[in-house]
Amino acid sequence: MLHLKNSDALAPRSYGQPKVHKPDVPLRPIVSFIGSPTYALSKKIVNILAPLVGNTEFHVRNSSDFVESIYDLRLEDDGILVSFDVVSLFTNVPTTPAVEIAKKRLTECDDF
């Protein structure tokens, strides 16, 4: 039975995670939505989208997986390996194209 109705919801809680590797130890804001009004809906959406995760050649599970994937990588003599720090990625993703891409990928997915 799907329980999306929440009668005793909590407001999302926020706190800071210290960035000990940076000068002056700034805080990384963390927001926990566990128990919030949209938590059950979010869990349901995660289950729907789960079959799409990891189905591209660009997916990396963690830093160890990344190291393994580039272990045998050979660059040209003038080649450069670049890493980009993603800042506020999800707040900058246009919603309409993201939803359309998700719908298309779910339609093409064989796991349903």
pTM of the model: 0.55
Among 25-39, 49-63, 78-92, which range has the highest average pLDDT? 25-39
| Cα 31 → chain centroid | 14
**What's the mean pLDDT in 74-103?**
82
- 111 confidence band (pLDDT: 50, 70, 90): low
Tell me which residue of 14, 65, 3 sits closest to 40, measured CA to CA.
3
How is residue 7 written in tokens?
Answer: 């009668």
pLDDT in tens, 26-50: 999 999 988 888 888 888 888 888 8
